[in-house]
Amino acid sequence: MNPQDFFDPLASEVLAVAPTRAHDLARLRVLAQRHAAPTVTVVGKYNHGKSRLLNELVGRDVFAVADRRQTVTLSEHHHAELRWLDAPGLDADVAEQDDGHAQQAIWLHADIRLFVHAAKEGELDAAERKLLQTLREDQLRTRRQTLFVLTQVDQMSDEEQLAKVSAAIEAQAHGLALHPVSATRHRNGVEGGKQLLLNKSGIPALQALLREVVQQVPAARQHEQAVLFADIGEQLQQQQAAAQAQWQALQQRQQQQRQQFEQGLQSVLESIHQDLLPIVELQGEDPALTPDTAADEFRLTAGKRERARIHVAYSRACIAIRAHLIQHGVEGLPADQRTSVASLDTVMVAVMGISVKYRADLRRRFCEPAGQAQLMQSFLHYYELSEDQQALQQALAQAQSEQQANTRALEALQRLRQGASA
Ligand SMILES: Nc1nc2c(ncn2[C@@H]2O[C@H](COP(=O)(O)OP(=O)(O)O)[C@@H](O)[C@H]2O)c(=O)[nH]1
Ligand SMILES: [Mg+2]
């Protein structure tokens, strides 16, 4: 199987939950090509002699040299079992695209970076210092090495001037080793067969150093891979723990709220029950059941008084229940149950109906276990459908799917790691 066919689907599982790790994953993808030649690239401002340095190192004019901006994309050349990558210069005025290519060379492809600075420019400017600092920090983390090459030293008037520039740069970057070179001297030395000039060019010494550093590339790559996997893994573990805590907190809230709703409603129903007992426990004939005659129209009959009493008691019960529902955000009906009459679209109407109840209704609904259970069940049904509870359920589902995605990412990372060490 093509290694990328193995790598890419797994990497996208990781990327899905850790988008900020895109670069690390891209670098791991490069590192997954285990037998790829060690890659050497140049970094520095334009016109400092990067392309020409590479030409001298590989011994052929393969990279374009110019006084104006020449290298705009990456160009590569294979020589001496190394992959040489020439990159555009990094400058404040550089078009973003060139910069992107240079960044890719430095961060994505390079095993070894040659930081190029022309001696005649004197000290490092702010951008160079910052970049050099970043590269040195990266070297501590990934063991990818950066060699500082002071180029065009033939343009120094004498040794003293060179020493001054070197000292100034060393003062800017503590502990930095400088490798002075002159491409011109090297070329003249090669062409004229002058060994002394060749040696004085600094190129053979740099080549020898490079050979040493190249020897360390396989171990450095292994180290870098381990570091990247460990860092991504740690992030995923942290995310996993956070998602888990979030899910647990939501679930706890859901349980608590439901318990409060249920227990509260239970005690409301209980006190309604107590309130209604004197009314429903009437012995003997029920005057409320005696219908009025036409002659009773303007008279207060025992039947009317009793029905009013029942009605008031029922209203009290409804008010108590409604207060509880409002407190828990259970008021309106879910969207798919709404009618064209807004005042009817309440949970109270849906559960209780709108008709006035007789004594037997009151007893059945509020004073018998089956009726109470029925009320409890109906209100719990609408409780679950209330906006707050729906939102909570959604948040729970979201937290759960985050957890699942994270778990998949952790498994994918594990497989990538196994693939890397297989
Ligand atoms: N005198 C001298 N000129 C150099 C040296 N190296 C490069 N140059 C000149 O500096 C200019 C820029 O070189 P180039 O390699 O294209 O720089 P880059 O933009 O950093 O790749 C060209 O004119 C080169 O000939 C050197 O060692 N000595
Ligand atoms: Mg160039």
Query: What is the domain partition of the chain in residue ranges?
Result: 37-215, 238-288+299-406
Over the stretch 276-302, which tens digit does the pLDDT of each residue have?
A: 999 988 888 899 898 889 999 889 999
Distance (angstroms) between ligand 1 centre and the Cα of 63 equals 11
Distance (angstroms) between ligand 1 centre and the Cα of 119 equals 11
Q: Which residue, by CA, sits nearest to atom 26 of ligand 1?
A: 152
Residue list, CB under 5 A from ion ligand 2? 50-51, 71
Residue 98's pLDDT is: 65
Phi, psi at 357, each rounded to 5°: -100, 150
Q: Are 186 and 201 in contact (CB under 8 A)?
A: yes
Residue 256's pLDDT is: 97
SS3 content of the chain, % helix, strand, coil (to 5): 70, 10, 25
Does 87 sit in the ligand 1 pocket, CB within 6 Å? Answer: no
The residue written with tokens 């008709």 in the block is 355
Q: Would you give the DSSP letter of residue 346? A: B
Does 70 sit in the ligand 1 pocket, CB within 6 Å? Answer: yes
Angle at 348 between CA 344 and CA 349, to 5 degrees: 35
What parts of the chain have a pLDDT lower than 70?
A: 1-3, 68-72, 92-98
Q: Which atom of ligand 1 is nearest to the CA of 155?
A: 1
Tokens of 349: 């109407």
How far is the C-alpha of 397 from the C-alpha of 359, rounded, in Å?
Answer: 45
The residue written with tokens 């998949």 in the block is 408
Tokens of 128: 């160079």
Does 48 sit in the ligand 1 pocket, CB within 6 Å? Answer: yes
Residue 353's pLDDT is: 87
Does 142 sit in the ligand 1 pocket, CB within 6 Å? Answer: no
How far is the C-alpha of 310 from the C-alpha of 304, rounded, in Å?
Answer: 10
Residue 96's pLDDT is: 58
Distance (angstroms) between ligand 2 centre and the Cα of 12 equals 35
How far is the C-alpha of 148 from the C-alpha of 175, rounded, in Å?
Answer: 11
Provide the 3-class DSSP secondary structure of residue 146: strand
Closest ligand to residue 186's CA: 1
Q: Which residue, by CA, sits nearest to atom 2 of ligand 1?
A: 152
Distance (angstroms) between ligand 2 centre and the Cα of 199 equals 24
Specify the DSSP element, H or E, that contains 410.
helix 387-421
Distance (angstroms) between ligand 2 centre and the Cα of 72 equals 8
Does 154 sit in the ligand 1 pocket, CB within 6 Å? Answer: yes
Q: Which residue, by CA, sits nearest to atom 6 of ligand 1?
A: 49
Distance (angstroms) between ligand 1 centre and the Cα of 51 equals 7
Residue 397's pLDDT is: 95
65, 86, 155, 203: residue to mutate for ligand 1 pocket, most atoms within 8 A of CB: 65
Over the stretch 177-194, which tens digit does the pLDDT of each residue have?
A: 999 999 999 999 999 999
How far is the C-alpha of 250 from the C-alpha of 158, rounded, in Å?
Answer: 74
- Show the beta-strand stretches assigned E in 223-308: none
Question: What's the number of CA atoms in the CB half-sphere (13 Å) around residue 406?
Answer: 19
Closest ligand to residue 202's CA: 1
Distance (angstroms) between ligand 2 centre and the Cα of 114 equals 13
Phi, psi at 209, each rounded to 5°: -65, -45
Residue 69's pLDDT is: 64
* CATH architecture of the domain formed by 37-215: 3-Layer(aba) Sandwich (3.40)
Residue 283's pLDDT is: 82
Residue 1's pLDDT is: 61
